[in-house]
Each structure stands twice: as C-alpha cells, then as structure tokens.
Amino acid sequence: MNAVKPANYAKVKAQELQNKLYLAAKEKSKRRFHALYDKIYREDILWEAWRRVKGNKGSGGVDGMTIDQIVKVHGEEQFVEEIRRQLTTGVYHPLPARRKEIPKQDGKLRPLGIPAVVDRVAQMATKLVIEPIFETDFKECSYGFRPKRDAKGAIRHIRRAVKKGVYWVVDIDIAGYFDNIPHEKLMKLVEQRISDRRILKLIRKWLKAGFVKDDQFYETDLGSPQGGVISPLLANIYLNYLDTIWENKFTELGTLVRYADDLVILCKTKEEALKSIDVLKAVFGKLELQMNTSKSKLINLWNDKSGFDFLGMHHRKIPKQVKGIERYILRSYPSKKAMKKMKEKVKEVTEPRNRLFWTMNRMVDELNPKIQGWRNYYAMDTFADLFLNKIDWYILKRLTLFWNKKRNRRKKHSHSRIAGIVAQHSGLKKLVG
C-alpha cells in the first residue's frame, strides 16, 4: 500500500465511489449489486474509514487496542495495511464486542457493544460502500443515522404536519429493538439489494460475533447490538419495511415520522389513530418485533392539556394570540428528561472536589462546548427560552458553589453576582441571549 495520502484525497475518492453507487441504485430500483467486496479494501475507502473511526474516538474493544496506541505505537499505515491484507486474503474474522451497560433515565441499563477498533474500521469501510445503495430506497419519513438528516429535521417534519390539522398522535416505543432484530429476516432485506456473497458473509459474521461481559463470552443469535458502526444502517434497512408499507398503503391514516426505532404517527382523527395502531401491530408481527405498551401512548393534541416527548423535546399545543384570536400553536421545548440530563451534565463537570484546583477559565472551557451543543439543538423554538433560561440559572448556581468552595466561604451559595461576573469574563456562553 502507498504512503498515507492527504486526508482530503481519500475523502474525495470515497465520495466519488458513493455517488456512482447511489446513481446506479437509483436508476434501477430492483438492481442487486454483486461485485462490491473489492471496493471495501480499496485504499481510499479504508483510509476514509480509518479517518472517520479515528475522528469518532471511543475506547478499545476486547483486544485492548485503543486509537491512541494505533497512532503512537503501531502506526496508522501498518494498521490500515493489515486490515487490507486480512480482507483481501479472506482471513478477516471479527472479535466479539466488549459489552458495556449504560444507565438509562428509568434506572434500567442499556447494553452497548464496543467492537475492536479493527472491526470498527472494517464495518465503516463496508458501510461507506453499501449505504449509498440503500439510501435510494429509504423514505422521506426516516431521519435517524442517515447522511444529511438529523433529529431537528424530524422535528421540523412533525411541526409541518401538525400545521395541516393534526389532533391525535400515536407515540410508539419498540421493545428492545436493536436486541431483537431477527438475523435471517434482516439478511433477506439486505439481499434485496446485495448479492455479493462475500459482503453478505461479512455482515453475518458481525451479527454472530457475540460479546464479552465480565470475561464471559456470549453468543448472539438475535439483534444488531448498539455500538457497532454498521448497526444503525442495518436497523434502518429492517424498519424501512415499515416505512415502505406505510408509504404505499396507509398515508391516508396519518404522517409517519421515524428516527431509528423512535416513531410517531400524526393523525387528524382518533379513528385514524386507532387504525394506525392496528396497522403497526400487524407490521411488527411480521417483523417479529413487539410494541412496548407501557411506553407507547395515544395523545390528544387538541389543546394544551397533553403533549408528547420525541427526540429530547416535548411537543405541545400552546395558546397564542394571533390578530386578537386565541390559537393553539405547536411548540417544542426540552422535555423534563432532557432538562434533568442537562443539569446532571453540569453537575458532573462542577461537583468533583479535585476540580476545586481548577481556575474559572478552565471550568468555563469545560462547560462551553456542552452549552453550545444544547443551544444548537434546543433553541429552535423561541418558546424553549423559558426552559433554557432555567439551565442558565442552574449553571450560575453551580459555578457560585464552585467559586465559594474554592475560597472556603461559609455561605456556599452567596456572592452569585461575583461568580457570575468572573464566569462572564472567562467567556461563559449562555443558552439564552
């Protein structure tokens, strides 16, 4: 393999291949691609895959090898070349993922699979090649983990639909979606577009690779574990079955908006909403998925009595005077869960006692990226300012506590004005204003 190419070279060449594959798939909606495997170990594809995995950072897998070790000890060229050699000779075999459990807001744990870095690069290279093909089949209602699409786009879709006269919302939660995708049914959907046996074999290997938890190996006969680079694409391929059926047969019942396994259906009448639930149950039955009845809801959006949470936002119709007439307008603002999570993040930064040695500048530098991220996402509706302002006050409260503890003051919550001025001079950003 040649020496490391400029980062932009691999990116441009990979984009050229993706464009060709996208156009070819778009031209013939029934075409099955049979010669893709050799594209995966192309030099530009592997380097672009490595660039993206490196940029995403993340910890090491079961082999203990981290991205820093690859860069500083093993060498990037040698690492990428070894992946290419394994793929070209057919000796590549994925390692089991390292299982880590992440606490959820409800006290339960979300299982997360962390593949080895080598497997993340191989998955990313495969994703770069096959994703453009499936993108031509994905529907407008789908926003999760797709190029040039995001959660804010899904929220805008909801707001547009509600403006056209939506009064009922079917808010659906799929029970353990990523962990319950049947492998064979998923592979049949993949095979509708991919006929290259080596690619199909590769995907099956990742699905069957298993995971290690507490030094114990577990097989995986079901699911596409969260944490794998290619898992979101496979999850979208599987639920595209629902999107396609809905678009072809049931759009008159309501507007479907989906972000990965989170979905809502926006209906004009209660009757349409109830029919939508029956359709979803039937489709989930075919997909061998289950609706989580404890979390799924039917919401009446007629006035400000009830709303629904979707993608970190609470959506509710709020009364507003328009030319002297009271109208109910859909507003989107941070959900209670999101507000709680923001406060927890602020506390995580400001609470540790070993950070009392930090300067205010360092504390502000740590907080600012989080504040900017929240502002970018949650400030899409001016009504959200009422809630974001509460987080600004909470940040000031935590910084006042930090400031007074540093000075061993008895009254830990006093002198908030001084702490605020110091934080402002240190460049503290605000969610509002």
pLDDT in tens, 324-350: 888 899 999 999 999 999 999 999 999
CA distance 328 to 146: 33
Secondary element (H or E) of residue 11: helix 7-27
What is the Cα Rg of the chain in Å? 25
Tell me the pLDDT band of 132, cut-offs 50, 70 and 90: very high
Rounded to an integer, the average pLDDT of 95-118 is 87
For range 408-417, the mean pLDDT: 69
Q: How far apart are CA 56 and CA 108, in angstroms?
A: 26
- Tell me the sheet residues that pair with 194: 33
Measuring CA to CA, which residue among 166, 170, 173 is closest to residue 317? 166
Edge-to-edge order in the sheet of strand 255-259: 255-259, 262-267, 168-173, 297-300
Q: Residue 113: what pLDDT?
A: 92
For residue 259, give the amino acid letter: Y
Q: Two tokens at 104?
A: 């959820």
Q: For residue 226, what pLDDT band results from cuts at 50, 70 and 90?
A: confident
Mean pLDDT of 194-201: 98
The overall average pLDDT reported for the chain is 94
> What's the pLDDT tens digit per position in 187-196?
999 999 999 9
> What is the spatial distance between Cα 259 and Cα 279, in angstroms, rounded to a whole number?
19
Segment 295-323 mean pLDDT: 93
Please give the C-alpha separations between residue 83 and each of 13, 76, 229, in angstroms, as whole numbers: 19, 11, 16
pLDDT mean over 169-183: 95
pLDDT band at 277 (very low <50, low <70, confident <90, very high): very high
Asked if 173 and 295 touch (Cβ cutoff 8 Å), the reply is yes
Contact between 374 and 431 under an 8 Å Cβ cutoff? The reply is: yes
In the predicted structure, residue 106 carries a pLDDT above the cut 80: no
Which pair of structure tokens corresponds to residue 347? 């506390």
What is the structure's pLDDT at 433? 81
State what percent of residues in the chain have pLDDT above 70.
Answer: 96
Assessment of whether the complete model's pTM goes beyond 0.85:
yes
Task: Note the pLDDT of residue 6.
Answer: 57
pLDDT in tens, 21-69: 999 999 999 999 999 999 999 999 999 999 999 999 989 999 999 999 9
201: part of which helix (H) or strand (E)?
helix 197-207
pLDDT classification of 201: cutoffs 50, 70, 90:
very high
